[in-house]
Amino acid sequence: ETGVTQSPTHLIKTRGQQVTLRCSSQSGHNTVSWYQQALGQGPQFIFQYYREEENGRGNFPPRFSGLQFPNYSSELNVNALELDDSALYLCASSWTSGSSYEQYFGPGTRLTVT
Amino acid sequence: SQQGEEDPQALSIQEGENATMNCSYKTSINNLQWYRQNSGRGLVHLILIRSNEREKHSGRLRVTLDTSKKSSSLLITASRAADTASYFCATPRLRGSTLGRLYFGRGTQLTVWP
């Protein structure tokens, strides 16, 4: 196990609603990244947080937002849900000052939008 | 895009056989990582190979890296039914914002039949 936890495990929402997903990073890690994985695809980078600041994002609209807390836990918020947001959402924690950039993934949250 | 691509997309073998998966990437790297994913769950880090390494072993896993061809291969020897999973290669971003973010391919779905 990586020590990274996510909640909830599964979630069903209706189009137009808002959702918050949570992640608890591995102890000692200062960076958390969020990825979206559609069925049959590889994970796609959403954004990254370093010391509570967004440190860059991938090709996702502003309705995807996040927070990182002082204890290195993190949230992913998605507003105005669309059907295409149905996916597995993965968070990953890492130690940025390292050079390997190895990331430790949580088990994911499966979001279904109907 | 720095995204890696795995080949083949799907691989089906019998227990005891070897499984070989290939990965190609596009830009400079300092390491390449292989991950495993069981049935749409979280990613498990398998092995990291640095750009100055040509081959690395971990148990039944053997990874090679050819930076001149921008390619890597993952060999699983004496496969078991429990090896059935999706396998992804990933390369980290080396410059700019989102340092360390991982670029994934679509993965290889390995099925090992008893």
Q: In the prediction, which pLDDT does B1 show? A: 45
Chain B residues with CB-CB distance to A2 below 8 A: 42, 44-45
Mean pLDDT, residues B57-61 taken together = 96
Please name which of B102, B106, B70 lies closest in space to residue B87, comparing C-alpha atoms: B106
B1 contacts chain A (CB < 8 A): no
Q: Distance from B17 to chain A by nearest Cα, in Å?
A: 25
Q: How many helices and strands, by DSSP H and E, does chain A display? A: 0, 11
Interface of A with B in 36-55 (CB under 8 A): 37, 39-45, 47-48, 55
A73 contacts chain B (CB < 8 A): no
The chain-wide mean pLDDT, for chain A, equals: 91
**A27-61, pLDDT tens digit by residue?**
778 889 999 999 989 999 999 998 888 888 899 99
Residue B93: pLDDT above 90? no
The chain-wide mean pLDDT, for chain B, equals: 90
Distance CA B40, CA B23 (A): 20
**Is beta strand B10-14 parallel, antiparallel or unpaired with respect to B108-113?**
parallel
B61 contacts chain A (CB < 8 A): no
What type of residue is A10?
H
pLDDT band per the 50, 70, 90 thresholds, residue B98: low
% of residues, chain B, pLDDT over 70 = 92
Match 């209706």 to its residue by tokens: A14
Cβ contact B72:B49 at 8 Å: yes
Residue A113: pLDDT above 90? yes
Chain A residues with CB-CB distance to B41 below 8 A: 107-108
Mean pLDDT, residues B34-61 taken together = 93
> Does A42 contact B88 at a Cβ distance shorter than 8 Å?
yes
Pick from B33, B93, B98: which is nearest to A102 by CB?
A: B33
**Is residue A31 left, alpha or beta, with left meaning phi > 0 and alpha meaning psi from -120 to 50?**
beta
